[in-house]
Each structure stands twice: as C-alpha cells, then as structure tokens.
Amino acid sequence: PPRTLECYGKPISRSFRLEIKKATHALQSFLGQPDDDVVRRMIDSCHGVALLSIVKAGFLGTVQFGGGLVLARNSHTGVWSAPCAVGVAGLSIGAQVGAEHNSVMLVLRSEAAVRAFADASKVTLGLNLSVALGPVGRTVAGGGVVGETGAHAACYSYTYSRGAFAGVGLDGLVVFTRDRLNHNFYGHVA
C-alpha cells in the first residue's frame, strides 16, 4: 500500500485497512494540536468516537461524501469495540463556494449517541459557517445525530480542513453503515 499522506486524503476507500490507517492518522493529527489536553479529556470520558474523512465541493449548493470508522467504548470496563466502517453523503444549500477536505472527529458523549450511530442510517442537520484557505482550517462545534428510530444525541465535532472554501449553509448529511466492507473484513455481518 502507498505510504504517502495522499493515501490518507482519500475520502472513501474499499480497503478496511486503509480506513484504519486514515482514522489513526486523523486521530494523531487531532492529538498533535495545542488543545491536545482538551481532546484527550473528551475522549477519556466519551462513549464512542467517529473518525471521518469528508470532501465538500460546490457553488451555492455543495455536495459532501466520504467515509470512516466508528468505535464504541464500554462505559463499565473502558474497553473499546472493534471499528465499524461507515459512509457519509449529503447536500448543503446556501451562500458557499469552493472545495475542501475535512478530517472529522465526532466525540459521542452518551450511550444514546452511540445507539444513534448503531441505527441502519443516521441523519444530521445543522447550520454551518465554514472557512478554509490553504493547508489548514480548524473547527470545534457541538451537534446532534438523529437515528432512523428517532433517537437523538449530542456530540462534539472537531474538524481539520484543507482547501479553499467559504460560506454559510444549511447542511444535511446521512451516515450509513458500510455492510459489505465490514463483512469482507470481519467475515460476518454484526
């Protein structure tokens, strides 16, 4: 497999191992920032983490797509689950222009947030103000996730952006489990 950082920039891959490498690289980039201690404390007390790679591009309306991994943590033992591959797709409408690649870490703050990710599909909606210019942009935000059962839960998101993008928009994003990729890696569907 390629060892350059370009392999980590792919928003979605058909290789579970590459998804693991991308997630590891993304986590290391979040932990290597000045607010490293805040991120570590959030992870130490969370119930789960989603590490995603999302590309966003367009003019006025934008398209978003990508993928990543979700891990849950047992609140009693502190043991992390095996990763589950997920994909994301969405649209945004508003005054926006450009293209950016986002590494996103969602810190799932409750068991309800983890359960919302365990649904077959999830929808997130939100108002987004985004600016990225050049190699680095960074965002910390609170948000919510709604599962198909109607369960909703709060989470915090950390975003590391690269590209040239500016705008304000109403975002809609669907997160779905990549059953085939999980089945090919684990040998069964959980």
Q: Give, for 190, the enclosing helix (H) or strand (E).
A: none
Which pLDDT belongs to residue 120?
55
Q: What is the 3-state secondary structure (H, E, C) of 54-104?
A: EEEEEEEEEEEEEEEEEEEECCCCCCECCCEEEEEEEEEEEEEEEEEEEEE
pLDDT digits (tens, 9 = 90+) for 97-125: 788 888 888 888 888 778 777 665 555 54
Among residues 112, 48, 103, 88, the alpha carbon closest in space to that of 171 is found at 88
Residue ranges of alpha helices (H) inside the chain are 16-31, 36-44, 111-118, 179-186
Backbone CA torsion sign across 187, 185, 174, 35: positive
Backbone CA torsion sign across 102, 131, 122, 94: negative
Angle 47-187-174 from CA coordinates, rounded to 5°: 50
pLDDT digits (tens, 9 = 90+) for 82-93: 999 989 888 887
Which pLDDT belongs to residue 69?
92
Write out the chain's pLDDT in tens, 190 residues: 334 444 455 777 888 999 999 888 888 878 877 767 877 888 888 899 999 888 888 888 888 899 999 999 988 888 999 999 989 888 887 777 788 888 888 888 888 778 777 665 555 545 454 544 444 544 444 444 444 454 445 777 777 777 776 666 667 778 888 889 999 998 865 4
